[in-house]
Chain A
Amino acid sequence: MKDNKKNKLTWRKLDNSAKIFPLSTGKKYSTVFRLSVLLKEDIRPQLLQKAVIDTLEKYKSFKVRMKTGLFWYYLEHNTKDPIIEEEKDYPCKYINPKTNRGYLFKVTYFKNKINIDIFHALTDGNSGTTFFKEIVYTYLELSHQEELSSENRQIRKIEYNTEDSYIKNYDKKAKSNASGKKAYELKGRKIKLGAISVIHQIINLEQLKEESKKYNATLTQYLTAVLMYAIYQENYIKYKGKKPIKICIPVNLKKYFPSKTMSNFFSYITIVAQIEKENINTFEKMIEFVKKEFQYSLTEEEITKTMSSNVKLGTNIFIKAIPLFLKKILVRLSYIEIRKYTTITYSNIGRIGMIGDYKKYIDYFLMLIAPEPVEKIKCSSCTFENNMVFTFTSILDNNNIEKKFYDFLTQRGIEIKIESNGVLDDISPETKQ
């Protein structure tokens, strides 16, 4: 953050990726993701409030509100305390800063669950998890003062910055690798009244690992293939799809480039399956295809190409010079088309590690991404201990894809427990409502 003169509020620019989110966001496209933790005890709101305030003292980059500049939005220090309230609405809904004391994240609770909804302009899933974990640690320390204390936690000096790691790492000469074809769009009637269906499939991790090993695939590769197969069987065939199924997989760039930023630093790879053309119509063919695509796309060279082509847009002098109100119109218009290039997004944030003493208070973590009118289903997953929670957030008024996904895995002997928000029908006899 830039420290201006005394008494002036500190501010910082949005990172290159974040610049686009406030321009394209609205009530239909919230670009909000959610992280939740299920504890083994009911949440005490006052302690949660204190935990969030304490955490914000450590992670000041989250204690911000968004302001409008002439050419870009920017983030400014927020002097108010955030609002913590009971969960009432559907997850990942648009965060209206006016009713949220300007904050770009919202912490809610429900029974034994703590949620944080984060507007993507603030940070990505990886740094969001770091922030959320700190809230959980602090909350547990406040609610179990005798058993836990921050001194017991081997506190690493929290080293982070808010640099724009995109600018630092992009390659000006890299060529774009963007695929030119529009994607198959999931078909079907939408749920009425703006509702969102949430279905969590809590998968036994060990069994899933064993199954994926049979195909010599990573968990992400295996689940991507299962997802593709479910889409193919339950939507693509029924609606006689012609366009390729495109699955967008966000990638944490911190694995590829040195960075300690708490701002966004992610890119994505897109798995483009030309089902008809390349005759990818069985699960075995799909998993082989997905593995090859991952191997090809997940190289530093390819990732740099994708990242750099996005950065170039944000650094283009002509784009920079367009006034914000005009940028907003142009971005919204262009996004009508851009959104048609993805069938579904699947984001796996991987293992969420917690320190030993704290684990016993936690059941599992959840991650959710907001579905959109074009990308009607979005998928996400995270792992805690021996549970991988695969989540479908959907605005489609049927759960055929979710059910196929569930059936596929359970038929292979993998145990799955289902949790949902009850908007759509149960997909298993064990579903808790």
Chain B
Amino acid sequence: MIYPQKLSSKKGSKLINILLISSILLAFILIIINRLTTPSIPWAALTNCGIIYVWITVLYSIKKRINIAGHVLLQTIIISAVLLYIDKELGFKGWSIHIAIPIVLMIANLTMLILTIVSYKKYIKYAIYQLMIVLISMIPMVFIMEKMIQPTILNIVAIAISIINLIISLVLSYRDVKDAVIRKFHM
């Protein structure tokens, strides 16, 4: 083998199809949850816009070879801060923490998951960004534990997704991390 292993064209196409079908399924599940739990607030429309946004960002970034993980992290922080600010300016009704930020975090996690899977054999490259997004995702948990806000289904789903995401990333990058530790700390 004279080249680093790359995702073959066939596997790449298959992966894109699987992720596309998963995205469509996820969109339907979110609509059903929305209808069953809070039909008065159409938040599923927002999450589905987010899914489309994820696809555009991921495909654009891969084609243009941008460090997408860094972008996702930056966008997550900025959008969350802006949402919090808007909520505060409108008299802080808590929609930013209960609805908007969990949606942003779910989208960020989903993007990172797609990115981790698509960027074959480069899992470790995104592990640090993934970890930071997980830490940010944990912030609502602190608010909930401190009883500053009431837990909502979206908060819980967002936290759960980020934890699952971190576990997947760690499993995928375990070997790379182990290699790096052995290399750096050999005696």
Contact of A87 among B3, B8, B16 (CB under 8 A): B3
Cα–Cα distance between A198 and B3 once the two chains are bound (Å): 9
Please, how many angstroms separate the alpha-carbon atoms of A432 and B16 in the complex? 26
- Cβ contact within 8 Å between A432 and B65: no
- Residue contact B8 to A194, C-beta cutoff 8 Å: no
* Measured CA separation A55–B91 after assembly (Å): 66
Set of chain A residues within 8 Å of B63, measured between Cβ atoms: 27, 193-194
- CB of A96 to closest CB in B, whole Å: 8
B4, A87: Cβ atoms closer than 8 Å: yes
CA distance A338 to B153 in the complex (A): 57
A94: chain B residues at CB < 8 Å are 65
Do B65 and A192 touch across chains, with their CB atoms under 8 A apart? no
- Is the CB of B90 closer than 8 A to any CB of chain A? no
Q: Is B4 touching A197 in the complex (CB atoms < 8 A)?
A: no
Q: How far is the CB of B118 from chain A (nearest CB, A)?
A: 7
The reply to whether B3 and A193 form a contact with Cβ atoms under 8 Å apart is: no
A424 at the interface (CB under 8 A from B): yes
B9 located at the interface, meaning its Cβ lies under 8 Å from any Cβ of chain A in the complex: yes
Q: Does A307 contact B (CB under 8 A)?
A: no
Q: Is the CB of A88 within 8 A of B3?
A: no
> Which of B1, B5, B9, B16 has the most chain A CB atoms closer than 10 A to its own CB?
B9
Tell me how many residue pairs across A and B have CB atoms closer than 8 Å: 65
Q: How far is the CA of A433 from the CA of B5 in the complex (A)?
A: 8
Contacts of A63-108 to chain B: CB distance below 8 A: 86-91, 93-94
In the assembled complex, the CB of A239 is this many whole angstroms from the nearest CB of chain B, namely 20
B65 and A93 form a contact (CB under 8 A):
yes
B128 within 8 A of A: no
Q: How far is the CA of A425 from the CA of B13 in the complex (A)?
A: 13
Residues of B within 8 A of A397 (CB): 9
Cross-chain contact B2 with A113 (CB below 8 angstroms): yes
Q: Is the CB of B6 within 8 A of A192?
A: no
Binding site for A on B (CB under 8 A): 1-10, 12-13, 16, 59, 62-65, 118, 122
Check if B2 sits within 8 Å of A88, measured CB to CB. no
Chain A residues near B10: list those with CB within 8 A: 425
User: B4: shortest Cβ distance to chain A, in Å?
Assistant: 6
Given the known A-B contacts A195-B7, A195-B12, A424-B9, are A419 and B64 also in contact in the complex, defined by CB atoms under 8 Å? no
- B1 in complex: contacting residue of A89, A191, A432, CB < 8 Å: A432
Give A contacts to B, CB under 8 Å. 27, 36, 38, 86-91, 93-94, 110-111, 113, 191-195, 197-198, 200, 397, 419-425, 432-433
In the bound assembly, the distance between CA atoms of A15 and B62 in angstroms comes to 34
Which A residue's beta carbon lies closest to that of B66? A27
In the complex, how many angstroms separate the beta carbon of A219 from the nearest chain B beta carbon? Answer: 23
Q: Can you pick out 27 interface pairs between chain A and chain B where the beta carbons lie within 8 Å of each other?
A: A27-B64, A38-B2, A87-B3, A87-B4, A88-B4, A88-B122, A90-B6, A93-B65, A110-B2, A111-B2, A113-B2, A191-B9, A191-B12, A193-B16, A193-B59, A193-B63, A194-B63, A194-B65, A195-B7, A195-B12, A198-B3, A200-B2, A419-B2, A421-B6, A422-B3, A423-B9, A433-B1
Most interface-central of B2, B4, B16, B62 (chain A CB within 10 A): B2
Q: Across the interface, do B1 and A192 meet the contact criterion of CB distance under 8 Å?
A: no
Q: Is the CB of A192 within 8 A of B12?
A: yes
Residue of B nearest to A113 (CB): B2
Question: How many Å lie between the Cα of A86 and that of B122 in the bound state?
Answer: 13
Verify B12–A424 contact, CB threshold 8 A: no
Residues of A within 8 A of B6 (CB): 90, 195, 421-423
Cβ B3 vs Cβ A195 within 8 A: no
Chain B residue nearest in CB terms to A419: B2
